[in-house]
Structure 1
Amino acid sequence: MAEQAKVGLGLRREMLDEFCQQVPDEINFFEVAPENWMTLGGKFGKQFRQLTEQHDFFCHGLSLSIGSPEELDTEFVKQIKAFLDLHQISIYSEHLSYCSGTGHMYDLMPIPFTDEAVTYVAKRIKQVEDILERPFILENVSFYAAPGAQMNEQTFVNAVLAEADCKLLLDVNNIYVNSINHQYDAAEFLASMPTERIEYMHIAGHYEESSDLMVDTHGADVIDPVWKLLQQSYQQHGVFPTLLERDFNIPETPELLIEINQIHQYQQQALLQAKSRSA
């Protein structure tokens, strides 16, 4: 399990100059959205290639639109595969949502929680896996409405994972945000996730619009209830590679390392607790 104790950071273009000089030891891998990097050339392209040759990278897509009513964009998936192959990246995840219909939307929209949607999404996931020649990793997402729901989010996520026989990117902040917005028990949801399908995890900050409305922004520090949920996750499911998401209001690296080191600390605590239980 020790090899799973890794902490990563989402890479932004403004970090390239710094990290091409030196990457702090505390950062074990980077995550990027392939859409933001696969057309880059020139200086940025060279810097990115330098980093992918020297460090572990995960990819987390934004616009695959796995739940879209439109046909799967297989040409786009082939472009993703070429990018993953070029940079020798084996980890590719996407959101359990959609962002396209008759046009492209710039928000991740909720898929109706129905049996029909479970079958539909699972079939599309298998299509993607066939093209990518890699496992597909699905992220539980934050959502703000549940149109046409025939089941709850917890049941829907588990059903899609089982039907598609795919892996899970467990986003701890999204569980917390949804638990406030939709008034469910975050700990119960967390416990219901299938340990054997978890590939890696996300943690992030969010914006509190009001006491009963949280907005998933990735633009703030992680708050205490989310840290506690991360600790619970390690205790219940074990330690997995965990990424700190910070998409804007990005502080300097030393400040980011405070949260990165907090994740390291929780991972080591969980591993020591697991070791003492098995002794």
Structure 2
Amino acid sequence: MRAGASLAGAGLGLRRGLIAALQSAPSIPVDFFELAPENWIGVGGRLGRALRAFTERHRFACHGLSLSLGGPAPLDETLLVRIRRFMDMHGIADYSEHLSWCNDGGHLYDLLPLPFTGEMVHHVAARIRRTQDILGRRIAVENSSYYAVPHAEMSEAEFINAVLAEADCELLLDVNNVYVNSINHRYDAHAFIDALPVGCTAWIHVAGHYNEASDLIVDTHGAPVIDPVWALLEHAYARFGSVPTMVERDFNLPPLDELFVEVGRIRLLQAACADGARRRHA
């Protein structure tokens, strides 16, 4: 199954801190939710029942946190089997993971960058193909934010393109990560998006961040999406079409209505993109 095939419209990351508000909301103007399976596998009781109620009524995607696709430790196939069972149990078709690493004999606290080399392309692509075999699904990989480059034989965009081609997987495009990296590593964010292949983007993330300094941004998912990121999302739609897109907010959770406003802004941009496409083909 194509990654993102069951998704459409504008989505929101499901966090435990949002559940009570969502349960009492008179309406939920969200087309799909995304969750991290590691945070929910084996959860029962009240929270387990709440999740089941949501997955029975709404479309969901899974976004992994700990598979460490680029890491040196053996791929955690036991975790993948558990993820597949979880996805099958909840009727979830779509899975993504970060193009990074976070495990070498023990789980690390951050998603660490990969060297942009041919050797790493082969390493990651082989692990992605194995992941797809175990999950029985074509997956998407996310471009990560990073603060140092271990080694580079090619550009980040070239590295991503090579992984997508060799692994036969799709892209989860994090537009905020593109913006963060463009400031921290001084490149043109629009040109970066233009360098990515058309037809490979399964879905898109937008999020907020923290400005540590004028030339250093930290990807936090703890603030509202800013105007330059919205503008970059418009640029992505112009290149890839109105791809399913969701808001990530991990902490400093605002009232639910504020998140719904951001979800609604995604929907407006998608509608404008679709309308522009219709006019061009009229």
Q: Which interval holds the TM-score relative to the shorter structure?
A: over 0.9
Aligned letter for 1:29? Answer: F
**Residue of structure 1 aligned with 2:209, choices 191, 203, 206:** 206
TM-score in terms of structure 2 length: 0.95
Q: Over residues 86-130 of structure 1, what are the superposed CA-to-partner deviations in whole Å (9 max), with x where a residue is unaligned?
A: 001000000000000132101000111110000010000010111
How far apart, CA to CA, are the structure 1 residues paired with 2:279 and 2:186? 36
Aligned letter for 1:39? Answer: G
- 1:138 is the counterpart of 2:171: no
How far apart, CA to CA, are the structure 2 residues paired with 1:16 and 1:223? 25
- 1:126 is the counterpart of 2:155: no
Deviation at 1:21, TM superposition (A): 4.1
Deviation at 1:261, TM superposition (A): 1.1
Conservation of the 8 A alpha-carbon contact between 2:21 and 2:256: no
How far apart, CA to CA, are the structure 1 residues paired with 2:239 and 2:55? 32
How far apart, CA to CA, are the structure 2 residues paired with 1:8 and 1:33? 14
* Count of aligned pairs: 277
Distance of aligned partners of 1:192 and 1:64 in 2 relative to their CA distance in 1, 3 Å threshold: same
Deviation at 1:46, TM superposition (A): 0.5
Aligned letter for 2:165? Answer: A
For 1:94-133, list aligned pairs within 5 A: 94-133=97-136
Aligned letter for 1:170? Answer: L
Return 79-88 or 147-156, whichever deviates more: 147-156
Deviation at 1:19, TM superposition (A): 2.3
Q: Over residues 171-219 of structure 1, what are the superposed CA-to-partner deviations in whole Å (9 max), with x where a residue is unaligned?
A: 1000000000001110000111112111000000100100100110000
Conservation of the 8 A alpha-carbon contact between 1:5 and 1:268: no
- 1:92 is the counterpart of 2:99: no
Q: Which runs of 5+ in 2 are unaligned?
A: 1-5
Distance of aligned partners of 1:23 and 1:154 in 2 relative to their CA distance in 1, 3 Å threshold: farther
Q: Over residues 57-108 of structure 1, what are the superposed CA-to-partner deviations in whole Å (9 max), with x where a residue is unaligned?
A: 0100000000010111111110111111100100000000000013210100
**Residue of structure 2 aligned with 1:234, choices 213, 233, 237:** 237
- 1:277 is the counterpart of 2:275: no
Aligned equivalent of 2:194: 191
**Residue of structure 2 aligned with 1:244, choices 247, 272, 275:** 247
Aligned equivalent of 2:80: 77
Deviation at 1:4, TM superposition (A): 6.8
Q: Which runs of 5+ in 1 are unaligned?
A: none
Aligned equivalent of 1:224: 227
The percent identity for this pair of structures is 52
Aligned equivalent of 1:58: 61
Q: Which runs of 4+ in 1 moved over 6 A?
A: none
How far apart, CA to CA, are the structure 1 residues paired with 2:31 and 2:195? 28
Aligned equivalent of 2:13: 10
Aligned equivalent of 1:41: 44
Conservation of the 8 A alpha-carbon contact between 2:210 and 2:218: yes
Deviation at 1:237, TM superposition (A): 1.1
How far apart, CA to CA, are the structure 2 residues paired with 1:239 and 1:117? 31
